[in-house]
Amino acid sequence: MLLSIVHRATGMALYFGTLLLAWWLIAAASGPGAYANVQAFTGSFIGRLIVFGYTWALMHHLLSGIRHFVWDLGYGFKANEREALTWGALLGGISLTVLVWIAAYALGGGR
Amino acid sequence: MSTQNAPGAPSMRTPLGRVRNLGASHSGTTDFWRQRLTAVAMTLLIVPVLVVVLMLLGRNQAGAAQILGSLPIAVILLLFIIASTWHMKIGMQVVIEDYVHNEKLKLAAVMANNFFSFAVAIASIYAILKLSSGV
């Protein structure tokens, strides 16, 4: 029940978060100055917080979406199965977010 | 759209024919299907997309432009952008239809949603094509 709203909320966050993705691609296509601006923003504390939040919203929405897909296919409606899917999406989303950021810091030197 | 028969008048239309395309969206199950189609597409694309993003970390614009301009990466990102903007357009429309009950406000919100989603899509696609052409 609660997670259904979180699915929507993360969807809404990702909706506006695509602006960041579009800005980044446009900057890369525009030139070094524009790209440096994006990097200055994503490198700042607020920028990192937003990108971290975006990563979590994406990972959670992905897993929560798979959960809905399982239900669309007609599986996972028993009480214990619903619990497992819900907790799987919640904990899986957090775990994947941390994993992606560990990979990001390991590969990108924290930039 | 069908013309309404007078109450009690005989009709040759089947029950399915009478209700087809008349759901809340007035477009049948098209959006429902596309929402799932784009969701599955993104589920398949998420790992390659994350790899591309990780590859770009810590690089300057020249390095990023070189990677983004390569054919397989441009194709992966184009597919992801088309799937995600389409998916978010449908998702936002569902939310608008659920919570905005004033008909005029709803039309305005749905229009704004279309404009926003298309603008994000076209801007991102243009950027990738520009990077690919090396101009």
Tokens of B61: 């614009």
| Residues contacting A63, CB < 8 A, separation 6+ | A88, A89, A92, A93, A96
Across the interface, of A26, A31, A34, the residue whose CB is closest to B123 is A26
Residue of B18 and B47 predicted with greater confidence: B47
B2 band by pLDDT with thresholds 50, 70 and 90 = very low
Closest B-chain CA to A55: B50
| CATH classification (class only), A2-108 | mainly alpha
Instruction: Tell me how far apart the alpha carbons of residues B41 and B80 are, in angstroms, rounded to a whole number.
Output: 8
Kindly report the average pLDDT of chain B as a whole number: 89
Please check whether residue B1 lies inside any domain of the structure. Answer: no
Closest A-chain CA to B114: A15
Residue B115's pLDDT is what?
Answer: 98
Please check whether residue B109 lies inside any domain of the structure. Answer: yes
Number of domains composing chain B: 1
Q: So where are chain A's domains?
A: 2-108
On whether the CB atoms of residues A66 and B43 are closer than 8 A, the answer is: yes
Tell me what percent of the residues of chain B surpass a pLDDT of 70: 87
Please check whether residue B32 lies inside any domain of the structure. Answer: yes
Residue B24's pLDDT is what?
Answer: 62
A42-74 pLDDT tens trace: 999 999 999 999 999 999 999 999 999 999 999
Instruction: Give the best residue of B36, B57, B95 to mutate against chain A (max A CB count within 10 A).
Output: B57
Count of A-B CB contacts under 8 Å: 84
Instruction: Tell me how far apart the alpha carbons of residues B64 and B69 are, in angstroms, rounded to a whole number.
Output: 8
Tokens of A66: 């798979």
Mean pLDDT of B78-90: 97
Across the interface, of A28, A29, A66, the residue whose CB is closest to B43 is A66
Residue B58's pLDDT is what?
Answer: 86
Q: Which residues of B touch A108 (CB under 8 A)?
A: 54, 57-58
Q: Which residues of B touch A72 (CB under 8 A)?
A: 36
Residue B48's pLDDT is what?
Answer: 97
Across the interface, of A26, A28, A69, the residue whose CB is closest to B36 is A69
Please check whether residue B83 lies inside any domain of the structure. Answer: yes
Distance from CA of A90 to the nearest CA of B (A): 17
Please check whether residue B10 lies inside any domain of the structure. Answer: no
Please check whether residue B7 lies inside any domain of the structure. Answer: no
Residue A107's pLDDT is what?
Answer: 83
Residue B30's pLDDT is what?
Answer: 84
Domain extent, residue B44, equals: 28-133
Tokens of B97: 């239809």
A100 band by pLDDT with thresholds 50, 70 and 90 = very high
pTM: 0.87
CATH of the domain at B55: 1.20.1300.10
